[in-house]
A and B are shown apart, each in its own frame.
Chain A
Amino acid sequence: MKNFTKAERFAEFLLRLNAAPPAITREEAFEFLGKTLIEVEDELTDIPFMPENWQTDGRMYPPQEDSARDVPGRSDLVRYRSRGHHTYIRANGAIEVRDLAGRVIISKKGSDGAGVELEG
């Protein structure tokens, strides 16, 4: 029985995300984000990975391509919407997660040293 809280699992996810070298492309960053979250959840919870279920099961799921949105005026940026967050991934591999109020939760620079660089 794995008894890690969601906060502890999220902290581990952040640790691994920040420890990794920056991604070079948007696709690489998207894949790395998803792979890291799935690995953390597989290791620290007993909750099976069932992303097809919409109802929450206590597990954290990474963004999927069907939740993508364009960002007006930013062809280099894709926004992935989830229940309580926006995950931004830039063409340079930068990642930024904000809550719905706009507070930055995660920020990781891309391969060129630049972040997502959202206005506001």
Chain B
Amino acid sequence: MEKTSQVPIEILEKQLRSRFPDARILLDRPKKRSGVWYLDVTHDGHPLIIQWQEGSGFGISSSPEHAYGDGADEVYRDDEAIYGRAISLLLSRTYTAPPEPVRLRELRQECGMSQAELAVILNKQQGEISKIERRQDVRVSTLRDYVQSMGGTLQIVASMPGGVVRRLEIEDAKESGARKHAATAKR
């Protein structure tokens, strides 16, 4: 019989059982292997819920209460990062919190980057980064570059009357310019 390889949350389960032998750990397997897996951990009365699905990574939440249909408080792609976060939450007995809106400066600081480092990546002066972070009206392209320089992706959503929600695609000025240039060169 062919032995199926373990999925990452099964490996995480083993790691947590080894690290916290007294913890109550329950792996909730989905009907289909491609579904959403859950790992319920209770250590010294402190609860932790970890979810995993191929392609989506890990979600982690630690809270005394959960509203119906809530997503995970925090999301991690990396196996080591989720293990580290789980240990930290269990040992410190702290709760996770839903993500709050964040200012550009705070987002940069969360990523552990200085204005000077960001300025190098974006080929700008440090003062320009400072201005972007204090500006009330920022160009979409500037915002996109800023977020991408930290490894993120900018998404803009339009919420329309009647509950219609559309993700906006903004024309990339650089690509648009390149296309125009190529069209001119062909003539």
Contacts and interface: CB of A to CB of B under 8 A. Distances in A.
Given A43-B163, A55-B75, A6 B67 contact: yes
Contacts of B126: none
Contact of B70 (A43, A48, A53, A84): A84
Interface string B19-47: 00000000011111011101010000000
Contacts of B98: 56, 58
Contacts of A61: 69-71
Nearest to B66: A84
A56 B163 contact: no
B183 interface: no
Interface string A76-114: 001001111100000000000101100001000000000
Interface residues of A, number: 37
B66 A83 contact: yes
A68 B31 contact: yes
A82 B66 CA distance: 10
A19 to B, nearest CB: 18
Contacts of B30: 66-69, 81
Given A60-B68, A84-B67, A66 B165 contact: no
A15 to B, nearest CB: 14
B72 A97 contact: no
Q: How large is the interface on B (under 10, 10 to 19, 20 to 34, 35 or more residues)?
A: 35 or more
A66 B159 contact: no
B163 A83 contact: no
Interface string B160-178: 0001010000000000000
B53 interface: yes
B59 A85 contact: no
Contact of B38 (A46, A48, A66, A81): A81
B101 to A, nearest CB: 11
A97 B67 CA distance: 12
A83 B62 CA distance: 10
Contacts of A37: 69
A63 B34 CA distance: 16
A57 B67 CA distance: 12
Contacts of B159: 46, 48
A56 B40 contact: no
Nearest to A38: B163
Interface of A: 6, 10, 13, 37, 42-43, 46, 48-50, 53-64, 66-70, 78, 81-85, 97, 99-100, 105
9 contacts: A10-B68, A50-B157, A54-B75, A58-B98, A60-B67, A61-B71, A66-B35, A83-B61, A105-B68
